[in-house]
Amino acid sequence: MDIAVVYYSLEGHTDFIARKIWEQTGAVPIRLFPKKEFPNDGFKKYFWCGKSSMFHEKPELSNEPLQLDTYDTIVVGTPTWAGSMTSPIRSFLAKENLKGKQVYLFACNSGGKDDKCFAQMSKYLEDNTLKGWASFNQPTEENFETMKGEFDRFCEAIQAGKQYP
């Protein structure tokens, strides 16, 4: 199966999981970059990123359109912003034609719940087979062991094309 991991990451945690998925499954990582990157410091970060997410903005991406025809499975990864998906991921889901593909979702958070985030993402995926989703709390090399069980099960499902969990 040809699998791509399409993701956005501001601070590196989602990038960390995307790379781990690549190592474990061979899925091709495709990182999205907004034409105008968000600030990554203090108050500005929370203000601009939070506003963009809450107002459902769809910023232009520097790497669209993506060439996804050859992939039958897409794993979409996002940080959680204000309980929802990030706006670059909203741009991707709104613009790319993912019709007919199997889709898995994952979110990186700082301990909050991702139900709303996944529910909002699902709305863009009504023509897809949504196979499941997983959440990871601030993953880093140091704490990865604590979530490795869930991560492995998620990757096994992706490789087998099975529902998760």
Which lies closer to ligand FMN via its Cβ, residue 81 or residue 133?
81
Q: How far is the CB of 19 from ligand FMN (least distance, A)?
A: 11
Q: How far is the CB of 83 from ligand FMN (least distance, A)?
A: 4
Measured at CB, which residue is nearest to ligand FMN?
Answer: 112
The beta-strand segments (E) located in the chain are: 3-7, 28-31, 73-79, 102-109, 129-137
Q: Which residues are at the interface with ligand FMN (CB under 6 A)?
A: 9-15, 45-46, 49-50, 79-83, 108-112, 138
Q: How far is the CB of 105 from ligand FMN (least distance, A)?
A: 14
Secondary structure class of 143 (helix, strand, coil):
coil
- Here the tokens at position 147 are 């979530």
Which lies closer to ligand FMN via its Cβ, residue 126 or residue 142?
142
Which lies closer to ligand FMN via its Cβ, residue 13 or residue 131?
13
C-alpha pair distances (Å), 31 with each of 4, 18, 127, 137, 164: 10, 9, 23, 20, 23
Q: How far is the CB of 148 from ligand FMN (least distance, A)?
A: 17
Which lies closer to ligand FMN via its Cβ, residue 46 or residue 127?
46
CA dihedral 150, 142, 20, 104 (to 10 degrees): 40
- Whether the CB-CB separation of 156 and 125 falls below 8 Å is answered with no
- Whether the CB-CB separation of 52 and 36 falls below 8 Å is answered with no
Q: How far is the CB of 107 from ligand FMN (least distance, A)?
A: 7
Which lies closer to ligand FMN via its Cβ, residue 113 or residue 162?
113
